[in-house]
Chain A
Amino acid sequence: MEAYLDNAATTPVFSEVKDIMGKVMEEDFGNPSSRHTKGIVAEQYMKEAAEIIAGKLKCQPKEIIFTSGGTESNNMALIGTALANKRAGKHIITTRIEHASVHEPLGFLEEMGFEVTYLPVDKNGRVSAEQVKQALREDTTLVSVIYANNEIGSVQPVAEIGKMLQSEKPDVIFHTDAIQAFGKYKIVPKRLGVDLMSVSGHKIHGAKGTGFLYVRDGLKIRPILFGGGQQKGMRSGTENVPGIAGLGVAVKEIYQNHSGKTEKLYYLKKMLTDGLLQYEGVVVHGIDGMLPEEAAPHIVSAGFASVKSEVMLHALAQEGVYVSSGSACSSNHPELSGTLQAIGVQKEYLDSTLRFSLSVLTTQEQVQYAVSMVGKLLPTLRRFTRQ
């Protein structure tokens, strides 16, 4: 049996997505900037995708800028905003549990003379609107808070922060990295007071190399890619039409029977969490005293005492269970997870934590299978631990 439980790293594409992408590549391969029919047909796919997304976000299609994915969206949001508003101030507020694609561009901005405040999080990986309020300064221009954390799934009070900013300091621009959250929650940026929102396609069963940035109409940001002036000059480069068409379809699919999907994910998550916790020496991070609904429905971060996560990961993979150690995106660096340290995970679990992540395609049987494999492997792995 195979249980792919690494959906926070990437998801398989929906077959509807694959179909439309194939069609665009084979038949409607025109460049949307071309003036002839082929170009117009290609442009039409982009318009449709933008309309689908705008419909879900309850915004205008022109507020959607297609990008190469989450990393580009985050870079564009942060660097583009900071540069466009540097006269107004050079102070940025964020959290200690952002993804590297937020953390690193902020580091770059620090090198360029910006100041960044990194807010600590509680044991469940959350900041409060009050913390953000306390950190606000006269020269603060940008607040960036991850919607749902990619390692432990903690969800931030984005609406409260947005509301607080609108009453305290309405000029401050509010960005949220919704790469793990989009599709899991019905997010309407305007209701949350969000000005910029990053989304990735391949986390919602779209293709890799796709994504978008929501940019509130009227917001001033500088492009970070220059060239032929595509997408109204905001993001030059011939558009990834097949990917964008696929992204539109993925969004449409993920929003169908949305509450049913969410319910299913929470059900599977509970099954997984309970299943893992029945074993000795297992902890699940970031759920202390919380309702399951207060954290993302698809991520379970579990620590296994006296087991090296890397070894357990490979052992599970041999049984067809695919998971991540810490966050897949940061596993290229052997250093320990920043998020786990930020939420105060005990030292013995830092290098012993695995992330299980679900998708709407995950089945009960797969979850049960994964839980039973963990149970089977734990005693053996604990017997052979390096001393």
Chain B
Amino acid sequence: MYQAFLLKYAEIGIKGKNRYKFENALCAQVRRRLEKLEGKFTVTREQGRIFVEAEGDFDFEDAIEAMSRVFGVSSISPVQVIEDKSWENLTKEVGDFIEMQYGEEKFTFKVKSRRSDKHYPYTSPEICMEMGAYLLGRFPHLTVDVHRPEVFIWVEVREKAYVYAKVYPAACGMPLGTNGKAMLLLSGGIDSPVAGYMIAKRGVFVDAVYFHAPPYTSDRAKQKVVDLARLISRYTGPIRLHIVNFTDIQMYIYEQCPHEELTIIMRRYMMRIAEMIAKETDCLGLITGESIGQVASQTMHSLAATNDVCTLPVYRPLIGFDKQDIVDIAEKIGTYETSILPFEDCCTIFVAKHPVTKPEIPVIRRSEGYLSEKIGEMLQAAMDTIEVVEIDE
């Protein structure tokens, strides 16, 4: 069975003198993922790739799956480690490996090789040729294509010998911890988990904030958001989820401001609170799942009105996405099924029949003036009663 994996990465290959930082961050993330599995894994960095060796009982599929969730990894190949690298044994083991991975499958191939053991009696080109000849002899249904082979069979001779061929795609992106932290506004919908995933994919640690409005939203709705945070944490690593009790502010807005402006004003206060938490927790920006025109509160006018209250940059990775594109990613990362569970969130319950779609900032600011009496202490109370859930899947 396979005892090792070779991980390749693309983008960090071009990071110049900082490259070692990226590589170390990547190794650390791979280790973190594998620590959660059964078995013992050793992760080492060498010449533009990462080598993972496994000891003891481990589940092959689980290991591949866990590593494919590490941002920065572009592909994973299972490697067979061959201790006895005498030519006779090496050819046999490489043959067995090909048989195990591909069975009767027909394909064109090319053997590639590397040799760091300079005492080995064959040079790299010789290994390629002789191994190719051996494989053709043993598997008559295979053909060699040196220009555009379907499968590269890699044979590396070092202290031990290594062979690998299959390539499993992985998450790509940049390793976590190479690019600061941001605060995700997590609702319970389809978009915000995807937005968090996409920013995290650029090497950004993500914390999250959820606005809870009991009794207008149920504990099940809150649990759903915790579940979503757990699902994205499978990619993004640890998440501190801040649960803000928004009921009093929401009801105050409802009483004081015009109903058709409710949603916009509510969102402005959510942004304000998110920014306050972000600043307290060293986040360098906010993340939302907004996409132009998707709903009344996401027209360009509404986005401008919401953005008006923020001083931190607001990252909106889905801004130009169609709904279906977002759904596709949600399905890929496994959040879709949870997102569509039917529990009301606080955005739907106080919605006016005809909300404004082209809010004017001066008008909205004036409406917020009606809140001046109590809003300060309400914001403080909301900040003081935040519940933090530490999530790390």
Known: A334-B342, A384-B251, A387-B259. A314 touches B350 (CB 8 A): no
Distance in angstroms from B363 CB to nearest chain A CB is: 21
Decide yes or no whether B20 CB sits under 8 A from chain A. no
Decide yes or no whether A386 CB sits under 8 A from chain B. yes
Which of B1-9, B215-223, B275-283 lies at the binding interface? B215-223
The docked-state distance in angstroms from the alpha carbon of A313 to that of B216 is: 10
Is the Cβ of B215 less than 8 Å from the Cβ of A312? yes
Decide yes or no whether A225 CB sits under 8 A from chain B. no
Is the Cβ of A314 less than 8 Å from the Cβ of B259? no
Q: Which residue of B214, B216, B255, B353 has the most chain A CB atoms within 10 A of its CB atom?
A: B216
Known: A384-B251, A386-B349, A387-B259. A310 touches B218 (CB 8 A): yes
B interface, how many residues as a size bin? 10 to 19
Query: Which residues from chain A contact B353 at a C-beta distance below 8 Å?
Result: 387
Binary contact readout B37-74 vs A (1 if CB under 8 angstroms, 0 otherwise) = 00000000000000000000000000000000000000
Known: A334-B342, A384-B251, A384-B254. A315 touches B215 (CB 8 A): yes
Query: Which residues from chain A contact B342 at a C-beta distance below 8 Å?
Result: 334
Distance in angstroms from A230 CB to nearest chain B CB is: 36
Distance in angstroms from A330 CB to nearest chain B CB is: 14
The docked-state distance in angstroms from the alpha carbon of A313 to that of B220 is: 13
Is the Cβ of A386 less than 8 Å from the Cβ of B350? yes
Query: Which residues from chain A contact B254 at a C-beta distance below 8 Å?
Result: 384
Distance in angstroms from A246 CB to nearest chain B CB is: 29
Q: Which residue of A lies closest to B353 (CB)?
A: A387
Distance in angstroms from B191 CB to nearest chain A CB is: 22
Q: Which residue of A310, A312, A383 has the most chain B CB atoms within 10 A of its CB atom?
A: A310
Query: Which residues from chain A contact B215 at a C-beta distance below 8 Å?
Result: 311-318
The docked-state distance in angstroms from the alpha carbon of A359 to that of B82 is: 70
- How many residue pairs between the two chains, A and B, have CB atoms under 8 Å in the bound complex? 30
Distance in angstroms from A290 CB to nearest chain B CB is: 32
Beta-carbon contacts under 8 Å, B323-376 to A:
342, 344, 349-351, 353
Q: Which residue of A lies closest to B344 (CB)?
A: A310
Query: Which residues from chain A contact B344 at a C-beta distance below 8 Å?
Result: 310
Distance in angstroms from B250 CB to nearest chain A CB is: 9
The docked-state distance in angstroms from the alpha carbon of A312 to that of B216 is: 8
Query: Which residues from chain A contact B219 at a C-beta distance below 8 Å?
Result: 314, 317
Known: A384-B254, A386-B350. A311 touches B259 (CB 8 A): no
Report which of B216, B251, B255, B351 forms a contact with A314, defined as CB distance below 8 A. Answer: B216
Is the Cβ of A318 less than 8 Å from the Cβ of B349? no
Q: Which residue of A lies closest to B247 (CB)?
A: A384
Q: Which residue of B lies closest to A334 (CB)?
A: B342
Q: Which residue of A lies closest to B217 (CB)?
A: A314
Is the Cβ of A314 less than 8 Å from the Cβ of B218? yes
Query: Which residues from chain B contact A386 at a C-beta distance below 8 Å?
Result: 349-351
Query: Which residues from chain B contact A311 at a C-beta distance below 8 Å?
Result: 215-216, 349
Binary contact readout B207-229 vs A (1 if CB under 8 angstroms, 0 otherwise) = 00000001111110000000000
Query: Which residues from chain B contact A315 at a C-beta distance below 8 Å?
Result: 214-215
Beta-carbon contacts under 8 Å, B254-295 to A:
254-255, 259
Query: Which residues from chain A contact B350 at a C-beta distance below 8 Å?
Result: 386
The docked-state distance in angstroms from the alpha carbon of A383 to that of B215 is: 14
Distance in angstroms from B295 CB to nearest chain A CB is: 17
Distance in angstroms from B260 CB to nearest chain A CB is: 11
Distance in angstroms from A374 CB to nearest chain B CB is: 13
Query: Which residues from chain A contact B259 at a C-beta distance below 8 Å?
Result: 387
Distance in angstroms from B346 CB to nearest chain A CB is: 12
Query: Which residues from chain B contact A384 at a C-beta distance below 8 Å?
Result: 216, 251, 254
The docked-state distance in angstroms from the alpha carbon of A383 to that of B247 is: 14
Query: Which residues from chain A contact B217 at a C-beta distance below 8 Å?
Result: 314
Binary contact readout A314-334 vs B (1 if CB under 8 angstroms, 0 otherwise) = 111110000000000000001
Binary contact readout A331-364 vs B (1 if CB under 8 angstroms, 0 otherwise) = 0001000000000000000000000000000000
Beta-carbon contacts under 8 Å, A276-314 to B:
310-314
The docked-state distance in angstroms from the alpha carbon of A334 to that of B350 is: 19
The docked-state distance in angstroms from the alpha carbon of A383 to that of B250 is: 13
The docked-state distance in angstroms from the alpha carbon of A151 to that of B244 is: 35
Binary contact readout B177-218 vs A (1 if CB under 8 angstroms, 0 otherwise) = 000000000000000000000000000000000000011111
Q: Which residue of A lies closest to B251 (CB)?
A: A384
Q: Which residue of A lies closest to B259 (CB)?
A: A387
Q: Which residue of A312, A317, A384 has the most chain B CB atoms within 10 A of its CB atom?
A: A384
Q: Which residue of B lies closest to A332 (CB)?
A: B342
Query: Which residues from chain A contact B351 at a C-beta distance below 8 Å?
Result: 386
Q: Which residue of B215, B254, B344, B349 has the most chain A CB atoms within 10 A of its CB atom?
A: B215
Is the Cβ of B349 less than 8 Å from the Cβ of A314? no
Query: Which residues from chain A contact B218 at a C-beta distance below 8 Å?
Result: 310, 314
Binary contact readout A92-119 vs B (1 if CB under 8 angstroms, 0 otherwise) = 0000000000000000000000000000
Beta-carbon contacts under 8 Å, A371-387 to B:
383-384, 386-387
The docked-state distance in angstroms from the alpha carbon of A334 to that of B218 is: 14
Query: Which residues from chain B contact A387 at a C-beta distance below 8 Å?
Result: 259, 353
Q: Which residue of A lies closest to B348 (CB)?
A: A386
Binary contact readout A243-270 vs B (1 if CB under 8 angstroms, 0 otherwise) = 0000000000000000000000000000
Query: Which residues from chain A contact B255 at a C-beta distance below 8 Å?
Result: 383
The docked-state distance in angstroms from the alpha carbon of A386 to that of B350 is: 6
Distance in angstroms from B246 CB to nearest chain A CB is: 13
Distance in angstroms from B220 CB to nearest chain A CB is: 9
Distance in angstroms from B252 CB to nearest chain A CB is: 10
Query: Which residues from chain B contact A313 at a C-beta distance below 8 Å?
Result: 215
Query: Which residues from chain B contact A383 at a C-beta distance below 8 Å?
Result: 255
The docked-state distance in angstroms from the alpha carbon of A310 to that of B216 is: 8
Beta-carbon contacts under 8 Å, B221-245 to A:
none
Distance in angstroms from B319 CB to nearest chain A CB is: 30
Q: Which residue of B lies closest to A333 (CB)?
A: B342
The docked-state distance in angstroms from the alpha carbon of A383 to that of B252 is: 11
The docked-state distance in angstroms from the alpha carbon of A284 to that of B115 is: 85
The docked-state distance in angstroms from the alpha carbon of A108 to that of B274 is: 51
Q: Which residues of B come within 8 Å of A, CB atoms?
A: 214-219, 251, 254-255, 259, 342, 344, 349-351, 353
Sample of 11 more A-B contacts, CB < 8 Å, known A314-B215, A387-B353: A311-B216, A311-B349, A314-B217, A314-B219, A315-B215, A317-B215, A318-B214, A318-B215, A383-B255, A384-B251, A386-B350
- The 12 sampled A-B contact pairs (Cβ below 8 Å) are A311-B216, A311-B349, A312-B215, A314-B214, A314-B216, A314-B217, A314-B219, A334-B342, A384-B216, A384-B251, A386-B350, A387-B259
Q: Which 6 A-B pairs have the closest CB atoms?
A: A314-B215, A315-B215, A314-B218, A311-B215, A384-B251, A311-B216
